[in-house]
Amino acid sequence: MGLALEVGMLADLIVNDDEGAEWFREDLKKLDGVLAKVGLAAHAEPAQSAVHSTSTYGYSGLHNLRRCAAHLQFNGSLPPPLAPDEQAMHDPLYTRYSAEFVDENNGAEPGTFAKASTRLFDHLIMHSDAEGFYVPQDFARVIISDDQAYGWVGSSYALRRECARVAATLELPNDLLADYESERFSAAIRETQGAARKGWSLFKPKPMPRAPWEEHPIAAMLCAKLHGFAEHSIRTGALLVFC
């Protein structure tokens, strides 16, 4: 089990799950109430749409990507690859990023924009890792939604920009950014994990230098997936749903 991404959820549910479609429509009403409070247009989720869905390497994949973004924010560079016994979600700069946002917006009413800041990755990082929405409308600051829409609401446009910024630092080739299901991601993940298990010593040749995305292949794959699904959301007019 883990996080999945879907664009075109209502269209999917109408065909495959009538009860689920009604449940989803209720969520859309709550989302529209939040959007109205910040002065944005109601979201018109298409009842007929191309459906896109994908898995995301459990939940850890997203945290790997967010860890890279947090290091870019505070250090201007990517972090070192995770050691086998490290977890991305416990990285000090990642937790610092979230803590600063929460402190700044403590007590904010549901249906308000987060306070303006110099942070570059709020739409990527300040969103539930298990559920919630990105809306195909362009707004700069995350919407505080509390329980009305799963905590925070992001913009598909802003998410695409933020992922593009991380992708540039990862030196992720454009063909891989556009092909989030490429086997090259899986191969790079296997190679990185194998190298971590074997380690390196003075008695073995030092590995050849690799591109930054190959040093962070899980983060790179998630970056491509979120970028691609934000594109699907913008093109189809459907929500990007975390589920």
Segments making up each domain of the chain, as ranges: 4-77+88-198+212-242
CA separation for the pair 156, 231 (Å, rounded): 8
Residue 219: closest CA among 56, 65, 4, 57: 65
The pLDDT tens digits of the residues spanning 99-148 come to 999 999 999 999 999 999 999 999 999 999 999 999 999 999 999 998 88
CA separation for the pair 217, 221 (Å, rounded): 6
Q: Residue 103 has what pLDDT?
A: 97
Other beta carbons within 10 angstroms of residue 159's beta carbon come to 25
Q: Residue 201 has what pLDDT?
A: 46
Non-local CB neighbours of 165 within 8 Å, separated by 6+ positions = 72, 120, 121
Residues of the chain with pLDDT under 50: 200-202
Q: Residue 193 has what pLDDT?
A: 83
Is pTM beyond 0.85? Reply is yes
**3-class SS of residue 113:** strand
Q: Residue 197 has what pLDDT?
A: 56
